[in-house]
Every structure is written in structure tokens, then in C-alpha cells.
Amino acid sequence: MNIPFFKYGMFGDEVSLIVAFIIGIGFGFFLERAGFGSARKLAAQFYFTDMTVLKVMFTAIATAMLGVYYLSIIGWMDLSMVYLTPTNIMPQVVGGLLLGFGFVIGGYCPGTSCVSAATGRTDGIVYLLGVVFGIFGFGEVFPLVSGFYNSTLMGQVTLPQFFNLPYGVVVFLVVLMAVGAFVAAEWGEKNMAKKAEAKK
């Protein structure tokens, strides 16, 4: 067993930063190639006219989950050494809703705004500046909201642990969810295309 590489001491902090930089550049490149540097394309999912974002993200989630699961099954990966962010359920629910509202209003999530800004789009640059100011603003008001921020702590919990189900069953259910999302997305796109055609 030799994964995660960093946890097994196969490279240090300096190399990990280089690896992170390369992965980040690659991730940004493929987001741009998929068209995710455009707010129009990203916002189209909320109108069910272009569900590419949902399809790509569900594909990424299912692929990563299957990869991690099978690497652990064959003994190449120790899941107990993978870092998990502790769950504070209510602050994270509120944060998720705020992120969702920001996504709908601005047309970007933080990652795609970086891609948009890097390619010189004005709206992406403005959105990214808003993210930066938001970070500093949150830092200033943190003492006032720290109680809520640290509330409802559940520890490092996974879906298999939370639902008391075998890891493989959860993986299977997520893959089924992804397939269902693909089918629903295709149906939604075709339906909206028919409605748009009928209005012409």
C-alpha cells in the first residue's frame, strides 16, 4: 500500500506544492476547454438548456469515487490516511446555499471564476475580485460568527458511516444517481429545446 503518496513520505512539502500547481493548471485548462470559463454556459444549467456542468461534475465524482474505491480494494490505497474536512452540518448547509445563490446570480463558482479571469473575461475578473473581498470581509466579521461557524460538529464523517452502509453500496448508489442525473439532464435539454422551437 503506497497511496496517498504525500502521507507515506514519498515527497515533501515543496514537491507537493509543485504537484498542486501542475494539477491546478491542468484542471483549469480542461475547465476552459469544456467551456466552463463562460458564465452563459454555466448559468444555462439553471434554465435546463445546457446541462454540461452537471454531466461533467457527476462524471468526475463517479470516476474519482470508483477509482478510490477500487484502489483501496486491491490494497494500493489506505482510505484512513485520506484527509477529511470535519463536518459542521449547519454552517456548511448555509455556506452551500450562499455559494449556490452566488453561482446563480454571478454565473460562476470560485473555480470557474479563476478560469474566466485567467482568460481575460471582465465578468470573471469582477467576480473573482468579489470572492477576494468576500474572503477578507469574512475574516473581519469572523469573531462575530465564530460560534455558529464551529457549531453542529459531527467530526470526520463519511456517507457510509452516516448511513451505516458498506462503502461499495454507497459507491453503487452514487453511480446510479449519476446515471439518473444524465437521463434527467438529457430529457430536460430536449424538452427545453422543443419549447424554444415551438416559440419560434
Render each residue's pLDDT in the chain as its tens digit; 200 residues.
577 777 777 788 888 889 889 999 998 898 888 888 888 888 888 888 888 888 888 888 889 889 988 988 888 888 888 888 899 999 999 999 998 888 888 889 888 999 999 989 999 999 999 999 999 999 999 999 999 999 999 988 888 888 999 988 999 999 899 899 888 888 888 888 777 777 76
pLDDT at position 1 is 56
Q: Which amino acid is at 199?
A: K
pLDDT at position 146 is 93
pLDDT at position 58 is 86
Q: At what angle do helices 89-106 and 122-149 cross, to 10 degrees?
A: 160
pLDDT at position 196 is 73
Q: Is 35 helix (H, G, I), strand (E, B) or coil?
A: coil
- Contact in structure between 62 and 179 (CB atoms under 8 Å): no
Query: Which of 27, 52, 57 is closest to 42 using CA atoms?
Result: 52
Q: Tell whether omega for the bond before 166 is within 30 degrees of 0, i.e. cis.
A: no
C-alpha cell at 75: 490494497
pLDDT at position 97 is 93
Give the chain's end-to-end CA distance (angstroms, integer).
60
Give dist(CA 97, CA 105) in Å, integer.
Answer: 12
> What is the length of the chain?
200
pTM of the model: 0.77
